[in-house]
A and B are shown apart, each in its own frame.
Chain A
Amino acid sequence: MSVRRLDPNQPDSFAFTPENIEWTKGQIAKYPEGRQASAVIPMLWQAQKQEGWVTEPAIEVIADMLGMAKIRVLEVATFYTMFNLSPVGKHFVQLCGTTPCWLRGADDLKAVCRKHIGDPSTVSDDGQLSWMEVECLGACSNAPMVQINDDYYEDLTAENFAQILEDLRAGREVKPGPQAARKGSEPLGKLTSLTTPITAEGAE
C-alpha cells in the first residue's frame, strides 16, 4: 500500500456511454430512495471498465449522478486498490507476489514483466501492457499466477508467461486459466487422494 492520489494528467471530461447509463440506472434503482450513494462502488467500477481507470471527471460525474459530495466519492476511489487512479495498458497485469506465489517463482515473473513491459505502474510504449504487484488473489494452488484484465493465468513459468505477454501484445488469442496440463486446481499428473471409487456402500 502506498499513498493513492489522482493522476496529475487528467482528461477534460467523462461521460458514460449510453449502454452504461442504462446499466447505472439499474444499479441506482437497487437501492431505496435517498440511498443512491450505495451505488458508488459499482458506478466507479463501471467507469473504470469503460476508461480503464478512474478519472477525476468520472469522480465528479458520479458524485453528481448520486447526489454525493465529490470528496465522498474520492474517499471511496482512493480507499479501494481495485480502482486504478492512473492509466493502465490495454492488458493490465496484476502479478501476485504473496508468499505461495513468491515461493513458486513470482520473482521470475516479475523479471519477465520488467523485460517485456517495463517498470511497474507504467504503461508500455505501445499502450498494450502495464503491470503491478498485488497481494494474494486467492489462487495459491496454481501458484504462481497473474490476473490480466478479468482473467486468471495460472501455473506460470517465465517462458509461458513471456509468451502470453507477447501474444497479447500481438493481438493473438491466449488461453486463460492453468497453463500447465491440468484442469482448474486438480493435482498435476494423477490424483493423489480420493483415488478409490465410491460405491453405494461408501468408500472402500
Chain B
Amino acid sequence: MPKVTVDGIEVEVDASATVLQACELAGAEIPRFCYHERLSIAGNCRMCLVEVERAPKPVASCAQPVTDGMVVHTKTEKVKRAREGVMEFLLINHPLDCPICDQGGECDLQDQAMGYGIDNNRYVENKRAVEDKDMGPLIATTMTRCIHCTRCVRFITEVSGVAELGATGRGEDMEITTYLEKALTSELQGNVIDLCPVGALTSKPYAFTARPWELKKTETIDVMDAMGSNIRVDSRGREVMRVLPRVNEAINEEWISDKTRFIWDGLKTQRLDRPYVREDGKLRVATWDEAFAKIAEKVASTTPDKMAAIAGDLADVESMKALKDLMVSLGVTNLDCRQDGAKIGTGGRGSYIFNSGIEAIEESDALLVIGSNPRLEAPVLNARIRKQWTKGGFPIGVVGEDTDLTYPTDYLGAGTDTLKQIIDGSHPFARVMEVAENPMIIVGQGALTREDGEAVLTAIIAYAKSTGVIKDGWNGFNVLHTAAARVGGLDLGFLPGEEGRDTQAILDGAAAGAIDLVFLLGADEIETKSLGNAFVVYQGTHGDAGAHCADVILPGAAYTEKSGLYVNTEGRVQMAKRAAFPPGDAREDWAILRALSAKLGKALPYDSLRDLRAALYEDVPHFATLDDLTPVEVPQGSATGAMSATPFTNAIKDFYMTNPIARASKVMADCAALAKGTDKGATGTHG
C-alpha cells in the first residue's frame, strides 16, 4: 500500500484512496463543498486544494489519487492563499443574506468562509441572480445561493436512483433544476437538504421556524418503518421542530426517508391530549379516574375469553410488555401484535427477522425479493440494495408485484407458482441463486400476511437452507418488516396464548359478539368496522381509526415523547429517547397501563421504567443488548399447508400514509396527493 506523507506525518493508505482521504487519515482538516464520501467525485468546488511536492500547481485533493511517496502539505502559505482565492471566487456570486437564510448557523459555506476566507471582497459588480425552482412540497429553493457543487444531483441520481435533478446551462448560468420543474418523486429526496452545503436547498416545512442554536438535540430512533433509522430530533420547548439523520453505518448510513424526516407536523395535529369516554354514542372529555373506572366496570363484567388486545405498529416494547402482563394477569389469551395478520412468530426468532443484517447486503452477490417493495417499505434499505447493485455482479430477482425499485430487476413472476419453480430449480433464476456465494432472500409482508403465509414462509426457509442462503457463516434469509413495533412484539411473545385468537379472529369474534372488550394499543390499521358492538379501549396518540371507534380513549405518548425500546427488522434493539413531553394530560404508555392495572386490582409488579426494563430483561434477555445484533438460531418452518396461487400484493400501497402520525401530517398528505398524481401520469392519461 502506498505511503503518503502529510504535513510530516507518514500514513499508509489504500491504493485507491485519494489525497483528501490520506490527509484525513493523517489528521489534517481539508475544507470541501462538492466532495462527499458517499457520492461520486466531482472535483468542481476546488476548495480542497493542497500542495503536493513536485506538482506545479495546488492540487484538488478530492480528485487526486495517491501515489507512493507522495509528500503533501496542507498548511503552507501557498495552500492558505489558494483556499482564500477559491473562497473569494465562491463568494462572488453568493448572496450575503445569511441573516435571512435558513441555513444560517449550520452552513458549510458560512463556516468555511470564517475558517479559510478573507475578511473582504474585491468584487464590486452585480451578483448573479437565479430564479428559484419548484421541487415539490418538501424542498424549498433559493437558487441564487447555489455554488454548483452538484451534491444534490449526484445524490438523487446515484443514491436515490431517480434521475430527476440536473444542471442545465453552463458556466455562471448553470442552474440546478428538475426536468421542467416537476416535483421530485424520490422517497429519499429530503437528504439533499442535508447535503446542500449552502442555503440553496432547505426544508420547506421547517422554513423560518427555528435557528439551529436554539434547538435541543435528542439522539433517538425512528419508527416510521422497521429499519430503526438513527435520527436526531430537534425540539424547542414542547415542540418537535425537525428530524435529521444520524450516522449509523450498520443501519441507515446517513440517510433517512422523507417520511422519517417530515413526519413531525403530524405530531402536533389530531393529538389525543385528554382521556375521553363514550356516553350516549358521543365521546366526551373525561378525567383519568373516570376513564379507568369505566374500563374497570367493563372488565369486571366480562370473562377473560371475551377480552382481547391488539398492539399497533408504533408501540414500544415496554408498553407491549405492560399490556401483555396485564392481560395475562387477567387471564386473557387473545393477544396479537400482528395487526396486518402476518403469519409469523411461531418458527423461532430466525424465521421473522432480517438475519443477515442490513449492512450485509453489501456482501451479498444475488438477491431474491419475494412479496416486497423495499422502495416503499424501507427506502433507506432500498438505497443499500441499489448501492450494492451499482457495484455490479448483483442480480436481483423479484417475485410479487412488478414495481420500479430504482434499479433494474429480473421480474420473475407474480406469486407462488413462480416461487415453486424457483424452489424446484426449474426457473432460470434458481441457478443464479445456486452459484452465488452469498445469496440473499428478502421476504416482504406481502408474502406473509396471506392465508397461506405460514406455508409460504416454510417453503422459503426450506429453499433457503437447500440453496445456500442459510449455511455456515452466512444467513441471508431476511424478513423485511413494515412496522417498527413488530419484531419487538414477536420477541416479547405478544401473540395469541393457548387457544387464543389472532387479530383476524379477534375482529371476527367482535363482529360475531364473541369478543366484548378489545384493547387497542395504538392499533389503527385494522378493520375497525368489524369491532362492531365490542367495548373498545384505545390507547394511542392520534384521533385516527382506532380512536373513532373507541369507547374509552387513553392518551399516550408518541415515539418522540417517551423513552422506549424498539427492535428493528434486523432484531437490533435500540432505545428511543424523549425529545419533548406529550401534550396535555397524555402520559407515557407503560405508566398508563401501570395505573390502569392498579384500578383493575391487578397491579403490575413494577413502579418505574427501570423496574419494568429489569423485568423485561429477565423475560427476554436479548432486549438488554442495545444497538447490537444478537446471534440467532437457524429458522424453522412450521407449517404443512399448501400455498395458494394468488399473486403476492405488497404491504404498502401509500408510502406517505402508513401510520396515524403520517395520516395527521399535512406535509405527508401533500406528498401522498402528489404521488397519486404521478401514478395517474404513469397510466398514460397525462398530457
Write the chain A residue with the least CB distance to B130. Answer: A3
Residue from the list B166, B167, B175 in contact with A3, Cβ < 8 A: B175
Binds B, one of A25-33, A71-79, A146-154: A71-79
Q: List, in ascending order, chain B residues with CB within 8 A of A56's CB.
A: 180
Q: How far is the CA of A68 from the CA of B571 in the complex (A)?
A: 40
Most buried by A among B166, B173, B178: B166
Whether a CB of chain A sits under 8 angstroms from the CB of B171 is yes
Interface residues of B in 165-193 (CB under 8 A from A): 165-171, 173, 175, 177-180
Which partner residue on chain B sits nearest A4 by CB separation? B169
Given A71-B177, A78-B168, 14 more A-B residue pairs with CB atoms under 8 Å apart are: A1-B171, A2-B173, A3-B175, A69-B157, A69-B164, A71-B166, A71-B179, A72-B166, A74-B166, A74-B179, A75-B166, A78-B170, A79-B168, A79-B170
State A71–B169 Cα separation when bound (angstroms): 12
Chain B residue with the shortest CB-CB distance to A80:
B170
The reply on B603 being an interface residue by CB < 8 A is: no
The reply to whether the CB of B215 lies closer than 8 angstroms to some CB of chain A is no
Is residue B462 contacting chain A, with contact meaning CB distance below 8 A? no
Taking a contact as CB atoms under 8 Å apart, the answer to whether A72 and B163 are in contact is yes
Please report the C-alpha to C-alpha distance between residue A56 and residue B173 in the assembled complex, in whole angstroms.
20
Report yes or no: A3 in contact with B164, Cβ–Cβ below 8 A: no
- With contact pairs A72-B163, A74-B179 given, residues A4 and B171 touching in the complex (Cβ less than 8 Å): no
Sampled A-B contacts (6; CB under 8 Å): A1-B170, A1-B171, A69-B179, A74-B166, A75-B166, A75-B167
B173 to chain A: which residues have CB within 8 Å?
1-4
Distance, CA A3 to CA B176, complexed state (A) = 12
Knowing A70-B179, A71-B178, A74-B179, say if A3 contacts B169 (CB, 8 Å).
Answer: yes
Tell which of B164, B170, B171 touches A71, judged by Cβ atoms closer than 8 Å. B164
B residues neighboring A (CB under 8 Å): 157, 163-171, 173, 175, 177-180
Q: How far is the CA of A78 from the CA of B166 in the complex (A)?
A: 11
Kindly list chain B residues whose C-beta atoms are within 8 Å of the C-beta of A74. 166, 168, 179
**Contact A71–B165 (Cβ < 8 Å):** yes
Instruction: Number of A interface residues at 8 Å Cβ cutoff, please give it.
Output: 14
Distance in Å: Cβ of B676 to nearest Cβ of chain A:
21
* A4 to B164 Cα, complex, angstroms: 19
Chain B, Cβ-Cβ closest to A77: B168
Known: A69-B164, A71-B163. A79 touches B169 (CB 8 A): yes
User: What 10 A-B pairs are tightest by C-beta distance, nearest first?
Assistant: A69-B163, A71-B166, A78-B168, A71-B179, A70-B179, A75-B166, A3-B173, A79-B170, A78-B169, A4-B169
Closest CB in chain A relative to B184 CB, distance in Å: 11
- Report the minimal beta-carbon distance from A77 to chain B, rounded to whole angstroms: 8
Which residues of chain B have C-beta atoms less than 8 A from A75's C-beta?
166-168
Find residues 1-26 in chain A having any chain B CB closer than 8 Å to their own CB: 1-4, 6
Bound CA–CA A69/B168 (angstroms): 13
The residue in A6, A56, A72, A78 that gathers the most chain B C-beta atoms within 10 A of its C-beta is: A78
Cα distance A69–B173 in the bound complex, in angstroms: 21
A residues less than 8 Å from B164 (CB atoms)? 69, 71
Q: How far is the CA of A118 from the CA of B73 in the complex (A)?
A: 59
Chain B residues within 8 Å of A70, by CB: 179
Cα-based distance from A78 to B175 in the complex (angstroms) = 10
**Distance in Å from the Cβ of A140 to the closest Cβ of chain B?**
24
User: B112 CB to closest chain A CB, in angstroms?
Assistant: 28
Distance in Å: Cβ of B621 to nearest Cβ of chain A: 50
CB neighbours (8 Å) of B163 from chain A are 69, 71-72
Give every chain A residue within 8 A of B168 (Cβ-Cβ).
Answer: 4, 74-75, 78-79
A69 — which chain B residues lie within 8 A by C-beta? 157, 163-164, 166, 179
Write out the residue numbers on chain B whose beta carbons fall within 8 Å of the beta carbon of A72: 163, 166
> In the docked arrangement, what's the CA distance between A194 and B396, Å?
71
For A2, A4, A72, A75, which residue has the most chain B Cβ atoms within 10 angstroms?
A75
Q: How far is the CA of A144 from the CA of B157 in the complex (A)?
A: 46
Q: How far is the CA of A79 from the CA of B177 in the complex (A)?
A: 14
A33 → B minimal CB distance (Å): 14
Distance in angstroms between the alpha carbons of A75 and B177 in the assembled complex: 10
Q: How far is the CB of A37 from chain B (nearest CB, A)?
A: 11
A176 to B293: give the CA distance in the assembly, Å: 100
List A contacts of B157 (CB < 8 A): 69
Instruction: Give the residues in chain B near A6, CB-CB below 8 Å.
Output: 180
Docked pose: A56 CA to B166 CA in angstroms: 16
CB-nearest residue of chain B to A70: B179
Residue of A nearest to B173 (CB): A3
Chain A residue at minimum C-beta to C-beta distance from B168: A78
Give the complex CA separation of A127 and B165 in angstroms: 36
Cα distance A141–B40 in the bound complex, in angstroms: 45
Query: What's the Cα separation between A1 and B177 when bound, in Å?
Result: 19
Residues of A within 8 A of B179 (CB): 69-71, 74
CB distance from B136 to the nearest CB of A (A): 15
B170 nearest CB neighbor, chain A only: A79
CA distance A118 to B166 in the complex (A): 35
A71 partner residues in chain B, CB cutoff 8 A: 163-166, 177-179
A168 CB, nearest partner CB in chain B, Å: 31
- A6 CA / B166 CA spacing, docked (Å): 15
> Using Cβ atoms and an 8 Å threshold, which residues of chain B touch A3?
169, 173, 175
Once bound together, how far apart are the Cα atoms of A79 and B175, in whole Å? Answer: 11
Complex: how many Å from CA A70 to CA B181? 12
Q: What's the minimum C-beta distance from B522 to chain A, rounded to whole angstroms?
A: 41
Select from chain B the residue with minimum beta-carbon distance to A69: B163
A79 to B178, CA, bound (A): 15
Of B157, B164, B173, chain A has the most CB atoms within 10 Å of the CB of B173
Query: Which residues in A have their C-beta under 8 angstroms from that of B166?
Result: 69, 71-72, 74-75
Q: Mark A47-70, 1 if CB is under 8 A from B, else 0.
A: 000000000100000000000011
Give the residues from 62 to 101 in chain A that come closer than 8 angstroms, CB to CB, to chain B. Answer: 69-72, 74-75, 78-79
Chain B residues whose C-beta falls within 8 Å of the C-beta of A1 in the assembled complex: 170-171, 173
Contacts of B180 in A (CB 8 A): 6, 56
The complex places the Cα of A27 from the Cα of B169 at a distance, in Å, of: 25
Residues on A with C-beta less than 8 A from B177 are 71
